[in-house]
Structure formats: C-alpha cells, structure tokens
Amino acid sequence: MSKLSLYYSIISPPSRFALIVAKMLELDFEEKVVDLLSGKHLTEEYRQINPSQTVPALVDGDMKMFDSNAIAIYLVEKYAKDDSLYPKNLEQRARVNEQLFYIASYLFPRGLMVIKGGLSGTLTEIPQKSIDDFNRGYEVIESFLKNVEYLSGSSLTLSDLSLWSLMESGEQIVPIDENRFPNFAKWMKKMRHENKFSQLNKEGADLHISIFKQCLEKNRAKVNSN
C-alpha cells in the first residue's frame, strides 16, 4: 500500500489547515511541498493529482482528493481515534459543518480576492470595501463565540482549526478589533497559546503576508513611477 501523501504550501491557509489536522491525528504521511510561487501547482503532473490545480491535495492509495474541508473530514473519519474534532452527533456535526461552510464560502474568498489583487499588481492598498467585508464576517464569528469557549461549544473541532489557519494570515490584513469583537479576539489568543502547532501556523502566515506586502510595495512603486 502506498503511503498517505499530502501536497501543500505553507503559505496557503487551507494547506495549513489540512497539514495541522494530519499532524494532530499523528498520521504517518509524506509531506509533498508544492512551490506555488514557481508555478509547480500548474504542471501537468500535479493536475493529474488535483484537477483544480490548487493546494492542498491528498493521495491515499487510489483515493485522490482536494479541498481542505473534504481532506480534513476524510482524515478524521478514517483515521481519528475519536470523533472530538468532527462529532458524530447530528446537531453538533451540523454546527461544525455550518461554520466550515461559512468560513469557506464567505471569509476565505474575500481574503483570497485581496491577496490575488496584491499579487496580480492591481492593488496598492487594501480597499475599504474589503475591510468592511472582513468585519462583517468577524461579526458572524463573534456570534458563534458568544458564551462558548470554541466555535462549536466547549471543545476544539475542525471549524476552529480551519478558522485559525485562515485568520493567522487574515488578521494581518484586517486586525480583529478587541473592543468590537472581544470573543473573537479572546478565541484567537487561546488558539495561539494552546495549540502545539502555533509556530507552524504563524511561520506560514508570516511568509504568506510578507509576500503580499512586498507585492503591494512594488505595485505602489510602479504607480508612483508612472
């Protein structure tokens, strides 16, 4: 049987989510780093693994799959020793799913739009509309965290890990206002202080945002030179 393989880039928040889940489950897997900056995800070889040519991607024997949520759920369902990260209880699982889908459908696309704008040369500053969109998303997250320790209640689940992976980058674009979103800010500090993969997440996010900020500087310099 071939070894479980995870294709990822540390600068990608969804990649860090899948990677952290695999490491938390203490899986024996091969780490396959995909260099996004040099276009390795656009090769025909990688397209055979992941037709969307995004990261992350997982190969488990004959199974090939992409999308970080799908990968995380698959890994927990197949390999986890218990259901704490993805509860089997219908109502609890529905809540985790609701949050995973919200993060994937609202917060992630808005962050991606800003990042792509910087990398493509179209942005010199973060637009106010993007800041407002982020804060609308933060309001929803704040509501999830009302009177609970984690997004879905009293214990850590996949939705916490997904949001944390995204927000380690996202907060460097639009900071969480502690006065406006106290529960969200408290949760973020808790995730950073209590998860043993904090350094991995932070280093990937710092690199991610440093590349983005360098692009913004180049874009501004180009505009000023014209």
Please state at what angle helix 198-225 crosses helix 158-170, rounded to 10 degrees: 30
1 has pLDDT over 70: no
Question: Helices 198-225 and 13-24, interaxial angle, to 10°?
Answer: 170
Give yes or no for residue 2 having a pLDDT over 90. Answer: no
CATH 1.20.1050.10 in the chain is located at 90-225
Contact predicate 15/55, CB 8 Å: yes
pLDDT surpassing 60 at residue 161 = yes
Residues of the chain with CATH 3.40.30.10: 4-79
Q: At what angle do helices 90-102 and 158-170 cross, to 10 degrees?
A: 20
DSSP 190-222: HHHHH-TTHHHHHHHHHHHHHHHHHHHHHHHHH
CATH superfamily of 4-79: Glutaredoxin (3.40.30.10)
Distance CA 168, CA 224 (A): 31
Q: Please, which pLDDT band fits residue 15 given cuts at 50, 70 and 90?
A: very high
- Do residues 18 and 72 make contact, with C-beta atoms less than 8 angstroms apart? yes
User: What pTM, to 2 d.p., does this model score?
Assistant: 0.97
Question: Exposed, middle or buried, 45 (CB in 10 Å: 0-12/13-18/19+)?
Answer: exposed
d(CA 16, CA 219): 27
pLDDT band at residue 226, thresholds of 50, 70 and 90?
A: confident
**Helices and strands counted in the chain (H then E):** 9, 4
CATH topology of domain 90-225: Glutathione S-transferase Yfyf (Class Pi); Chain A, domain 2 (1.20.1050)
pLDDT category at 3 given cuts 50, 70, 90 is confident
- pLDDT tens per residue, range 126-138: 999 999 999 999 9
Our measurement of the distance from residue 75's CA atom to the centroid of its chain's CA atoms, rounded to an integer in Å, reads 16
Alpha-carbon distance 168 to 183, whole Å?
Answer: 16
Spatial CB neighbours of 96, under 8 Å, sequence gap ≥ 6: 86, 87, 151, 152, 157, 158, 159
- At residue 90, the pLDDT reads 97
**CA 137/CA 129 separation, integer angstroms:** 12
- Sorted by sequence, the CB contacts under 8 Å of residue 83 that are 6+ apart come out as 76
Collapse the DSSP code of 112 into the 3-class scheme (helix H, G, I; strand E, B; otherwise coil) and give the result.
helix
pLDDT of residue 139: 98
Neighbours of 105 (CB within 10 A): 9
